[in-house]
Structure 1
Amino acid sequence: MTLTSLQRSQLAAALAAVALAAGVGGYYLAGSRVPAAASTDAVRKPLYYYDPMVPTEHYDNADSLSSMGMKTIPKYADESGGPGAAPGVRIDPAAIQNLGIRLVTATTGTLAGSLDVTGAIDFNQRDVAIIQARAAGFVQRVYGRAPGDVIRAGAPIADVLVPEWGGAQAEYDAVRKTGDRALIAAAAQRLRLIGIPGGAARGRGMTTIRSPIGGVIQTLDARAGVTLAAGQTLAQVNGLGTVWLNAAVPEVRAADVRPGQTATAELAGFPGERFNGRVIAVLPTAQADSRTLTVRIELSNRDGRLRPGMFATVHLGDTSRTALLVPSEAVIRTGKRTLVMLADGKGRFRPAEVRIGREAGGQTEIVAGLAAGEKVVASGQFLLDSEASLTGIAARPIAGEGK
């Protein structure tokens, strides 16, 4: 299909308008160079003439029109990687201010940050006592306990009659009358081996089983008249002196949490109070549905006010750290990689690939790809990036990761 001159002009104007609306800065940057560089362009010899909309077309004549019907502009050796020139987009210093380009310096500073998450109180699963029968017998008496009761250390759970203990106790008493120390020691050892607490039974085989710790009864299977087998569990008691606070931390903040870190909890039930603790573990698996890690915090609970199941707001200490920082507005995220526009201070700009870390307070951490003291563009960088893309300027790769 053949286009008339009028149609070609209209098509070119429409494409130019679309390019400008999409952020393509080729014409804008090129147009800004002409007045500012007029005095120097007269003494420089262009490599060729081109239309930024179709940069692959090169022309020898300044009056040439591109296939888009647009007037061509000169391309100089020192503008985009010609022989002996550093790669980059060159903008006349006089036009930088007109384009709204603002430069900042990458500096080492403190990246402020706080990590506030939610969590729930749970039992300390390391403070558990399993109360068992050491020998086969019968439950003679229980003490009115029930699951959920809070008991003190040494509280009785049940009185148990162990027939085997009665016979062993009678044998021990007979040996004691002989006065033979060796036999007495052997008989006492037998009492300990069959499970008699302290090596002596009360009332010919009757013993009271007690809780070794204070806390809440989780399970209770002691019932009057029940026949017990050796090793059968009578009760399980969970201590309450300390509790765990399981906090859900987003996996993107995993690097900001470590064991030993201080933490503060606030609970709705105790307004105005803060409970201090420390991180004792970061669990090795993530929650697939919420993409969070479980951080285990240990809290003191001497007064027993912190009850498992309560929700809390958790402040995970000070997560500030020293890092190389640039303003967040200077970072260009393309989806496949992250760039900044480097400035050499003489009107030349080049994209550089970087790897970023955490962002806080309008500052972004640069993990790799940039050094302290280098200048980057914080405003107008998208125009420069578009110009660099149009002219085929490659981004500076991250050291050691160049392709």
Structure 2
Amino acid sequence: MKRTRLAALSLVAALLIAGGAFHAGRTLGPAPDEHAAHAPAPAASTPEPAAEKKILYWHDPMVPGARFDKPGKSPFMDMQLVPMYADADSVSGTRIDPTIQQNLGIRHATVRRIESNTSVEAIGSVQFDERLGVAVQTRVAGYVEHLAVRAPMESVRKGQALATVFAPEWLAPQNELLALQRSGVSQEIISAARDRMRAMSIPAELIRQSEKAGSAQARFTLTAPANGVVTELGVREGMAVTPGMTMFRIGGLDKVWAVVEVPEAQASRIRVGQKVKAVLQADATQSFDGKLTEILPQIDAATRTLKARFAVDNAQRKLVPGMLLRLQVEGPKTTRLVVTSEAVIRTGKRAVVIVRKANGAFEPRDVTLGADLGDDIEIIDGLTEGEQVVASGQFLIDSEARLRSVLGNMAPQKP
């Protein structure tokens, strides 16, 4: 009986303790939201720790080929060795740390499109237009009795007297003609005598003078056939002359040649018929109009230039041979895709540029070059407007690529 009472009391005490603990839990325990906030997330949403990059070796970017198995200071340069990671070549092209790029002094340039005209500027020297040159010759043996022009480079006008020549060979044919006329022979015989005199190159004016005077004329005057200057004087007073001897050469000045040497690279920009504006080198206020008349088919092996002749108007005689002219040949305006010339690597067979891609990697690209525009060069194929290329440090990037076992072929593999 006593045992039964003790068991009942123990059961009541246990129930009271359990009820108090439940009541304390509801009163002092955390809110349901707090339980949810502190509850651990599902295992599937827990991010895995990032795996560390594996370092293959350390190297000096400035000294290709040397590899080291631990970090430290470079034995070649005053700089720390740079780690090379296993996934360094996992992307297309070659990636270089920005700090290394700064140390290498790498500069970038933008591929751009510009408007340019195909004008050519050159310095030319004034020369006589050889097409205007004439020669004054005698067609009979005789002597120079009087010389009206005594020095080379004298200016002469058309019809001006140059020299008086005595030709004794012309006396006999003229006397024969005069005798036939006095004898009253038929006109057919007189006409035949005149034809014989023309065959001997006796001037018609001289024949008229002899017929008018009634006596043979052996002296005749040579006159200038055109305006210009005497470029060559081949006789003096008292000299004997022979048939075909050149006594004078006269160069015209109404038009002159401006002969220029055009670089071989610009030869494709000029063509016969192009207009030219010529400015006097010594006085820029004096300008002249001209036209390209001829491109000489020969390249100077020493200067790699070809000569072009421009016919320049010189009606006012302001230009003389030897003067210098600054010529500008206008061409059509075009748009060109260009890049700075220093960005192009020429290997002899190829032209290559190092392109900086959007992800920061570098890759080489073959390009087709066009006209050389001085600091810029035209790109025919291989690049698009807005792309970034390496303007300096291309060979250091190539060295960096070789260190990464790309073996000089940094181009991405085609799928």
Alignment of 1:60-71 (within 5 A): none
Distance 1:173 1:107, change over 3 A: farther
Task: Work out whether residues 287 and 293 of structure 1, in 8 Å CA contact, stay in contact via their aligned partners in 2.
Answer: no
The letter for the 2-side match of 1:340 is V
**Structure 1 match to 2:197:** 191
Counterpart in 1 of 2:134? 129
Q: Does 1:163 align with 2:168?
A: yes
Q: Which digits, 9 at most, give the CA deviation of each residue in 1:277-305, with x for residues without a partner?
A: 223334424283x6654433221111112
What is the alpha-carbon distance in structure 2 between the residues aligned to residue 106 and residue 295 of structure 1?
A: 34
Equivalent of 2:389 in 353, 374, 377: 377
What CA distance in whole angstroms lies between the structure 1 residues aligned with 2:86 and 2:195?
Answer: 101
Given the alignment, which residue of 354, 357, 372 partners 1:358?
372
Choose from 205, 221, 224 the match for 1:211: 224
Identical counterparts, % of pairs: 32
Q: Note closer, same or farther for the CA distance 1:192–1:331 as it changes in structure 2 (3 Å cut).
A: same
Deviations 1:9-61 (A, max 9, x none): xxxxxxxxxxxxxxxxxxxxxxxxxxxxxx99957998x934455887999xx
What number of residue pairs does the alignment pair up?
344
- Return the TM-score normalized by structure 2: 0.65
CA contact (8 A) 1:353 1:395 kept: no
Q: Indicate the structure (1 or 2) with the bigger Cα radius of gyration.
A: 2
- Unpaired stretches in structure 1, ≥5 consecutive residues: 1-38, 80-84, 398-403
CA distance in 2: counterparts of 1:253 and 1:349, whole angstroms: 33
- Work out whether residues 325 and 364 of structure 1, in 8 Å CA contact, stay in contact via their aligned partners in 2: yes
Cross-structure match for 2:86: 75
CA contact (8 A) 2:129 2:256 kept: yes
Q: Is the 8 A contact 1:100 1:379 kept in 2?
A: no
Task: Determine the structure 2 residue equivalent to 1:233.
Answer: 246
1:242 paired with 2:255, answer yes
- Which runs of structure 2 are paired with 1:325-344 in the superposition (5 Å)? 325-328=338-341, 330-332=343-345, 338-343=351-356
| Amino acid aligned to 1:245 | A
Residues 248, 380 of structure 1: alpha-carbon distance in 2 compared, 3 angstrom cutoff: closer
Change (3 A) 1:287 1:340: closer
Aligned residue type for 1:133: T
TM-score where L is the length of structure 1 = 0.67
Structure 1 pair 261/327, CA: closer, same or farther in 2 (3 Å)?
same
Three-state SS of the structure 2 residue aligned to 1:122 is strand
Q: CA deviation at 1:132?
A: 0.7
Residue in 2 that maps onto 1:140: 145
SS at structure 2 position matched to 1:273: strand
* Compared CA separation, residues 220 and 396, structure 1 to 2 (3 A): farther
- Quote the offset at 1:219 in angstroms: 2.4
Is the contact between residue 351 and residue 394 of structure 1 (CA under 8 Å) also seen in structure 2? no
Following superposition, the deviation at residue 233 of structure 1 comes to 1.8
**Greater alpha carbon shift after TM alignment, 302-311 vs 253-262:** 253-262
Is the partner of 2:272 in helix, strand or coil?
coil
Partner of 1:179: 186
Answer yes or no: is the 8 Å Cα contact 2:157–2:228 preserved in 1.
Answer: yes
Comparing 212-221 and 269-278, the one that deviates more: 269-278
* Partners of 1:162 and 1:254 in 2: CA distance: 54
Q: Distance in 2 between matches of 1:135 and 1:71?
A: 97
Return closer, same or farther for 1:44/1:330 CA change in 2, 3 Å cut-off: farther
The answer on whether the counterparts of 2:151 and 2:233 sit within 8 Å (CA) in structure 1 is: yes
Aligned pairs (5 A) from 1:247-262: 247-262=260-275
The two structures, once aligned, show a CA RMSD in angstroms of: 4.6
Distance change >3 Å, CA 103–CA 153, structure 1 → 2: same
Asked if the contact 2:59–2:66 (Cα under 8 Å) also holds between the matched residues in 1, the reply is no
Alignment of 1:113-128 (within 5 A): 115-128=120-133
* Structure 1 residue 241, shift from structure 2 partner: 0.9
